[in-house]
Amino acid sequence: MFKKLTKELLDKFFSGDIITASRLMTRLENGDPSVWPIMREISLHTGKAYVVGITGPPGAGKSTITDKLIQLFRKNQYTLGVICVDPSSPFTGGAFLGDRIRMTQAIGDEGVFVRSLANRGELGGLAPRAKEIVQILDAFGKDVIIIETVGAGQVEADIINIADTTVVVTVPGLGDRMQALKAGIMEIADLFVINKADRQGAQDAVRDINMMLDWLPEGRWRPQVLLATANLNQGMQEVYDAILAHRDKLIKTDKWRERRYERNRSHCFAITEQAVISYIHQKTEEVAELKELIAKVCEGEVDPYSGAEKLIQKLFASADILKLS
């Protein structure tokens, strides 16, 4: 019975049924483990899609750039999946939703599948979920998947790890903050776009970034630094061309395969960790002995370290962390 349902669902999915794909994403977001056998089948059909990450500080205009890129990819007959990630809610939640409304011009086009991922405080975080949605969109046959992250923290860095090409968007006049770019962003950027280039200081920003890039180790891909004013549609063709140029370079240098390896690896660890964490929480709610232990930790009768030790001893003495049918 279960096998039959799975087969039906997979047939629908691979025939391109959008509702089936959406429901699958929702079940994954809800942490429903019954989708694992389905995801296992789906993951056998992945590795073809080209994944572009768009990141940068709040207010840099990432959504507008994403919008324009969608139009350019569509003009060139690519089908698209778009994932909008907002790990920084509650504070930026409002602005984010506003931005999304602008993107509605993309909705209604069957070649574009848009999915938002907001943080609802789940265990395990957004990065594993984003990876799963990439897998689904990839197997669903989308040629290009754009992941846009609002904000710029560790979560975004984890997510952007999935991308083949990472575009870092910034704006003129970030001043001091540019210094900070040095730290983490130099390693992940494949292309810099200075948006709102009609503002004062655009040339200074180009120079600043180029100066930082001079510190890159030899042999490393040197990201281009482009100027754009996305809301006036200026410079976007150049951004698009630079993205595709990076893809071509990737494919030639075997980096393409390397990134797929890393994607599989981190996906496997994410699933494993998620399962184990869920198991820990579930058991401490179900098993009376563990419930009592946690109560004693809360009361301060047992210190958190001894509590953790006992918890681990009790939980992992047997091998039933998860039982899949």
Residues between 277 and 296 that touch its own copies (CB under 8 A): 277, 280-281, 294
Sequence-separated (6 or more) residues with CB below 8 Å from residue 134? 49, 51, 81, 83, 145, 147, 162, 263
Rounded to whole angstroms, the Cα distance separating 276 from 293 reads: 19
| Residue 72 or 308 having the CB closest to its own copies | 308
Which burial class, exposed, middle or buried, applies to 142 when counting CB atoms under 10 A from its CB (0-12, 13-18, 19+)? buried
Count of residues in contact with its own copies, rule CB under 8 A: 79
What's the closest the beta carbon of residue 66 comes to its own copies, in angstroms? Answer: 18
Neighbours of 294 (CB within 10 A): 15
What's the closest the beta carbon of residue 226 comes to its own copies, in angstroms? Answer: 19
Neighbours of 134 (CB within 10 A): 23
What's the closest the beta carbon of residue 322 comes to its own copies, in angstroms? Answer: 6
What's the closest the beta carbon of residue 72 comes to its own copies, in angstroms? Answer: 26
Of 20-28, 76-84, 195-203, 262-270, the window that binds its own copies (rule: CB under 8 A) is 262-270
Rounded to whole angstroms, the Cα distance separating 165 from 88 reads: 23
Binding test (CB under 8 A) with its own copies, winner from 121, 214, 218, 286? 121
Segment 139-158, which members bind its own copies (CB under 8 A)?
Answer: 151-155, 157
Binding test (CB under 8 A) with its own copies, winner from 261, 285, 288, 292? 261
What's the closest the beta carbon of residue 22 comes to its own copies, in angstroms? Answer: 20
β-bridge pairing 50-55 and 165-170? parallel
x/- track of binding to its own copies for residues 74-93 (CB under 8 A):
-------------xxxxxxx
| Residue 33 or 111 having the CB closest to its own copies | 33
Q: Is residue 213 a contact residue for its own copies (CB under 8 A)?
A: no
Rounded to whole angstroms, the Cα distance separating 93 from 215 reads: 36
Segment 43-72, which members bind its own copies (CB under 8 A)?
Answer: 43-44, 47, 56-58
Q: In sequence order, which ranges of the chain are alpha helices (DSSP H)?
A: 2-14, 18-29, 36-43, 62-75, 93-102, 126-139, 154-160, 176-188, 202-213, 236-252, 255-286, 288-299, 304-315
| Residue 111 or 307 having the CB closest to its own copies | 307
| Residue 146 or 152 having the CB closest to its own copies | 152
Segment 218-247, which members bind its own copies (CB under 8 A)?
Answer: none
Paired tokens of 262? 């890393």
Paired tokens of 171? 């704006």
Sequence-separated (6 or more) residues with CB below 8 Å from residue 304? 297
Of 61-69, 203-211, 235-243, 299-307, the window that binds its own copies (rule: CB under 8 A) is 299-307
| Residue 215 or 305 having the CB closest to its own copies | 305
Strand partners, 16: none
Rounded to whole angstroms, the Cα distance separating 260 from 164 reads: 8
Segment 170-189, which members bind its own copies (CB under 8 A)?
Answer: 176-185
Rounded to whole angstroms, the Cα distance separating 269 from 4 reads: 29
Rounded to whole angstroms, the Cα distance separating 204 from 175 reads: 10
| Residue 70 or 125 having the CB closest to its own copies | 125
Binding test (CB under 8 A) with its own copies, winner from 6, 71, 116, 119? 119
| Residue 72 or 95 having the CB closest to its own copies | 95
